[in-house]
A and B are shown apart, each in its own frame.
Chain A
Amino acid sequence: MSDFIERAKFSCALGGALTTIEGIPRAVPIVHAAGGCASALSGTYNLAAGYRGIGYCGGNMIPTTNIAENNVVFGGEERLEEQIEATLKALDADLYIVVSGCQVEIIGDDTVAVANRYRNRGVVGASTPGFSGNTYKGYDAVMTTLINNVIERADEKDPAAVNILGVVPGHDVFFRGNLDEIRSLLASIGVKANTFFGTGESVAAIRGYGSASLNIVLSPQAGLDSAKAFEREHGIPYVTAEIPIGPTGTEEFLRGIARALNIDGAVVDGVVARETKVYYSFLERLVDIYADLDFQRWLIVAADSYYAHALTRYLANDLGWIPFVTNIHDIEEEHAQARYDELFRDVDSRHKPLVLFERNPSELLEEVRRAWPDNHNEKYYNALSPAYVVGSVTERGLAEKLGAGFLSVAFPVSNRVILNKRIAGWNGALTLVEDLITSLVSSR
């Protein structure tokens, strides 16, 4: 098991489960744990995910068994039954998902078995104790429960329908805007994307997602277990892809999906040509000020594997910034690190980025200082400047220490409000550029 973590950019499995459930319209979590877990964890993703909110039934509205010391001694299953019965009466929902905390799992309560007794009343269960893993683990536990117990078996598959996996609500602070963008991108090549958490989703719609013919996993760390469950339970294969950002990334994404679904490449050609033209018609408006003031920056990216390469490649290959260092904090296994490192081969600037897998934020600053020669009071010192840090709010201190520009994009983000903003696709990239450059002109 992994080591301690400094300033971890995660919650636990229960936190991941709750932020996932809060992403589903009219779904209600029932938490079998001590009284404080649910609202505290829900609060983490409300306050640190661009104020994403608490969904239909989050925060201190979350039904909780509120077990205490006596339950830890005597067991809490009876209390859970009472709480499920009471919740079914008190709260309206299209789906109730019982999830468990550390305390009850250690003492051996069988949360899922208790939940299953209420299956015919719209209740399902998932085991999500905090010690079982981080946010991703909770996301996959809830998704796997949906896949196994809620999504109906469909013999006939829709060749043009896909499910999007790996976009964890809140952990991708732009999740809803991104999913809406991905849906419209795929619609432009004739593919219907089921997003689970995007606009217009519902539990009724999710029940029918067994008829998709392909699952697309957009994260190297979240969604793979869910995709495997889909394959096992519903016979739906999966492909992995990267969140598309900007012209290069979005074209690659669409071509990959078109290949997997046997869609004519000419369809993609048309979309790419049209949208790239639109993209540059907007970006062109920035050209004069960009060139007159030299907005090219040395780039420092600190993000999870979901965003790190996609952001670096967009800012290097499309916007023309100089990728100095990219740190990925959420991959622990060495072979997985090596595999992710390979991705950076397609970063085509002359200066190649240093790719790091440091888990602790303070180590990134040390690495930057190691990788760039110190100023020994030289008269002519080649400084790492002008630089820009694209990361999470945790990197604000790093940016200040380096005297660099700063934008928070990856979780946690507590210094910006994100409603329907997105950074996916051609549209999202334009929003990202707006925000990056706004901070450079905000004092004018």
Chain B
Amino acid sequence: MSKYSDELSYGFTAALAPPVRETRIGVCSAYCGGCSQLRGDVNSGCAQLQRRKFDQSGGCQLNLASGIVSSLTNVVMITHSPLGCNSRYVAMGGMRRMMRASKGKADEEFIWLHTNMGELDVVQGGIDKLRKAVLYAEKQYHPEAIIIANGCVPGIIGDDIDSLCQELADQVSAKLVPIHCEGFKSRYVASGYDSAYHGVLRFLIDPYERYDKALNHASGSRDEGEERFRFKQSRTVNLFNVGSNSNGDEVELCRVVKALGLNPRFLPLHATLDELKHIGEAALNVSVCATHDDYLLGHLKERFGTPYVIDTLPIGIKNTNIWLRKIAEFFHLEEEAERLIALETARLEEALAPIKERLKGKSVFVGGGETRILTTAEFFHSLGMKLLGVKAHNVDRFVEDILENVTDGKLFVEVAAGMPAEELNILSRLKPDLYCGHAGANGWVTRLGIPTMPLFGQTLNYMGYAGAFELARKADKVLRNTNFAKNISRNVELPLSEAWMASDVKDNIKERENA
């Protein structure tokens, strides 16, 4: 049930590694210009061919892939690479714990290993070290799964981690999950989500098996428990969480879906392997962010026949309504949905009124992942704020609709994963009152003197009606005292040259030479 993904085919899980998104979906990762022009260039395919002369560090698909699978309960992560890949885990143990605590999950210490590949391993291969690491993880921690993220070095030298996993499968009780997420393979870092879900689909989601009870079946009537199970499943909706949503977001989205009389549950982040096993026992799979999960939902439809909704991200009133209506439509609950929407919207509008009064006319720029920024920007616009532009990490088919709906065709759009140099150049001209951006960008914008608020946060609410209120409340809060950004910009030097700040960032874009 999505015009975005229905044209896409899913049937990659027989392969060892998933295709990268450059080939699977097609993507624009370098662009500067007006919104309507971008729409044209995406359709003609030109936008997808652009690169940069001056480039800055963006993301790595290994980080995104590892972020998904390392959240699973009772797993050990092995990074098969030199020590740098996933070295940020040294700072993540506490964060993971906080997330689990906020969801009421049992406390557990996060364990990760590095195969610590060195010069000799580049020559000889690192499979022996990986074997030792797997056996150590099994013996020391007895996890339910041992997940192996493959870095660039083994990817280039050709270490065969899949054969090793097969070889060790009978020696360890943990499930072994190889994840192919070598950073150099894709500039479109969201490929990492496919890499992660490819491993999850192949090794952690078993084919759906239920056996009818012979006696009851023979007598023609199924038992009460069975009926109850089937009824429950017919109302169960899988909602797919992402690394950037908070538990508050999940509570809110569950609340509105439950209000329709449905039985929502959030997967797959932080889930136990047992919960993953039952992922097929649902009537509908609903995406929260297509950039994250179309690969998973597409394949689940193939495997279990579960239909899916891949549409907008439920941020802001309009997009939460759209998201909810799509779910309701599937269950023929349109009337109930409209009643709920009317009730929720009325209450929310009332609460937003005084905040809107204060935010009216304030200008804003939003940067980050494509779906999130466009829905967040739409919400700011609906609050009476002036939208000056957006910066998307990348642009692909999943935002075609939202781009169509942006009323101002001249709206400035930059497409870049990172590239604060371009962004600061643009912001120094646009001078928004408020910047709302992805982690990693807000600090630079603060140094420029523009007050910022984070586009997402694991402890903040953004989604659904409650999230919309929180989002407005935060914007209103940030603008009440902007001294931090002011003082920082006056006293901290930016590395950007005058010539760069005076240049037209469009000149930094070039046609790529080859793939």
For A36, what are the chain B residues with a Cβ–Cβ distance below 8 Å?
57-63, 183, 189
Q: Are A106 and B157 in contact (CB under 8 A)?
A: yes
Known: A11-B87, A39-B440. A65 touches B153 (CB 8 A): no
Asked if A1 meets B495 with Cβ closer than 8 Å, knowing A35-B60, A397-B109, A412-B90, the reply is: no
Against A, the Cβ 8 Å flags (1 = close, 0 = not) of B415-427 are: 0011111000000
Number of residues from B at the complex interface, CB < 8 A:
74
CB contact under 8 A between A86 and B54, given known A1-B120, A103-B152? yes
A87 to B417, CA, bound (A): 18
Closest to A39 in B: B57
Give the CA-CA distance A134 to B200 in the complex, in Å.
31
Looking across the interface, which residue of chain A has its beta carbon closest to that of B492? Answer: A56
The reply on B463 being an interface residue by CB < 8 A is no
Selected interface stretch from A2-10, A176-184, A205-213, A426-434: A2-10
* Pairwise interchain contact B57-A92, C-beta atoms closer than 8 A: no
Chain B nearest Cβ from A72, distance in angstroms: 6
A64 to B419, alpha carbons, bound, how many Å?
Answer: 10
Q: Taking the complex as formed, is A437 at the interface, i.e. its CB lies under 8 A from any CB of chain B?
A: no
Among residues 391 to 448 in chain B, which have CB atoms less than 8 Å away from a CB atom of chain A?
A: 417-421, 440-441, 443-444
Which chain A positions have C-beta within 8 A of B120? Answer: 1
Give the Cβ gap from B48 to chain A, nearest Cβ, in Å: 14
Please state if A37 and B60 are interface contacts (CB–CB under 8 Å): yes
Q: Is the CB of A102 within 8 A of B87?
A: no
Q: Of residues 66 to 105 in B, which have CB atoms within 8 Å of A's CB atoms?
A: 78, 81-85, 87-91, 93-94
Residues of chain B lying within 8 A (CB to CB) of residue A34: 60, 152, 183-184
Contact B183 A35 (CB under 8 A): yes
**Distance between Cα atoms of A37 and B81 in the complex (Å):** 12
* B125 CB, nearest partner CB in chain A, Å: 12
Say which residue of B54, B88, B129, B497 sits within 8 Å of A3 (CB atoms).
B129
Per a CB cutoff under 8 Å, which of B61, B141, B156, B497 touches A106? B156
Q: Most chain-B CB neighbours within 10 Å: which of A26, A28, A129?
A: A129
Alpha-carbon separation in the docked complex, A279 to B391 (Å): 54
Please, which residues of chain B bring their CB within 8 A of the CB of A87?
A: 54
Residues of A within 8 A of B55 (CB): 35, 63-66, 83, 86
Interface residues of A in 259-275 (CB under 8 A from B): none
Alpha-carbon distance A8/B59, docked complex (angstroms): 22
Chain B positions 148 through 172: 1 when the CB is less than 8 Å from some CB of chain A, otherwise 0:
0001110011000000000000000
CB-defined contacts of A41 to chain B, threshold 8 Å: 84, 87
Query: B221 within 8 Å of A by Cβ?
Result: no
Instruction: Tell me if B359 counts as interface (CB < 8 A to partner A).
Output: no
Interchain CB contact under 8 A, B82 and A12: yes
Q: Which residue of B lies closest to A91 (CB)?
A: B495
Does residue A414 face the partner (Cβ distance < 8 Å to B)? yes
Of all chain B residues, the one with the shortest Cβ separation from A36 is: B60
Among listed A43-51, A334-342, A347-355, A372-380, interface-contacting one: A43-51
Whether A90 and B183, one on each chain, are in contact in the complex, defined by CB atoms closer than 8 angstroms, is: no
CA distance A64 to B5 in the complex (A): 33
How many chain A residues touch B (CB < 8 A): the figure is 80
Closest CB in chain B relative to A189 CB, distance in Å: 34
Whether a CB of chain B sits under 8 angstroms from the CB of A382 is: no
Q: Is B116 touching A60 in the complex (CB atoms < 8 A)?
A: no
**A84-95 Cβ-contact flags toward B at 8 Å (1 or 0):** 001101111100
Residue of B nearest to A398 (CB): B109
Q: Is A72's CB under 8 angstroms from B82's CB?
A: no
Known: A61-B420, A362-B140, A397-B109. A44 touches B82 (CB 8 A): no
Let me know if A131 and B88 touch, CB within 8 A: no
B420→A60 contact, CB < 8 A: yes
**CB nearest neighbor in A for B184:** A34
The chain B residue with its CB closest to the CB of A89 is B499
Question: Which chain B positions have C-beta within 8 A of A103?
Answer: 152, 156, 183-184
| Complex Cα spacing A93 to B515, Å | 33
Which chain B positions have C-beta within 8 A of A40? 57, 59-60, 63, 84-85, 87-88
Q: Which residues of A contact B109 (CB under 8 A)?
A: 397
- Check B117–A39 contact: CB distance below 8 A: no
CB-based contact B116/A8 at 8 Å: yes
B514 at the interface (CB under 8 A from A): yes
CB-defined contacts of A47 to chain B, threshold 8 Å: 88, 91
Q: Interface centre among A82, A89, A130, A362, by most B CB within 10 Å?
A: A130
Residues of B within 8 A of A131 (CB): 82, 117-119, 121-122, 153
Bound complex: CA A396 to CA B508 (Å): 47
Does B332 lie at the interface of the complex (its beta carbon under 8 Å from any beta carbon of A)? no
Chain A residues whose CB sits within 8 angstroms of the CB of B118 once the complex forms: 1-2, 131-133
Chain B 468-511 interface 0/1 with A at a Cβ cutoff of 8 Å (1 = within): 00000000000000000000000001011101100000001000
Interface centre among B84, B90, B136, B152 (most CB of A within 10 A): B84
B105-119 interface (Cβ within 8 A of A): 109, 111-119
Chain B residues, Cβ within 8 Å of A6: 111-113, 136, 140
B90 x A44 contact (CB < 8 A): yes
Binding site for A on B (CB under 8 A): 52-63, 78, 81-85, 87-91, 93-94, 109, 111-122, 129-130, 132-133, 136, 140-141, 151-153, 156-157, 183-187, 189, 417-421, 440-441, 443-444, 493, 495-497, 499-500, 508, 514-515
Interface CB pairs A-B, < 8 A, 7: A7-B90, A12-B87, A35-B187, A40-B60, A59-B440, A130-B82, A397-B93
Closest 5 CB pairs of A and B: A36-B60, A12-B84, A130-B82, A86-B54, A38-B57
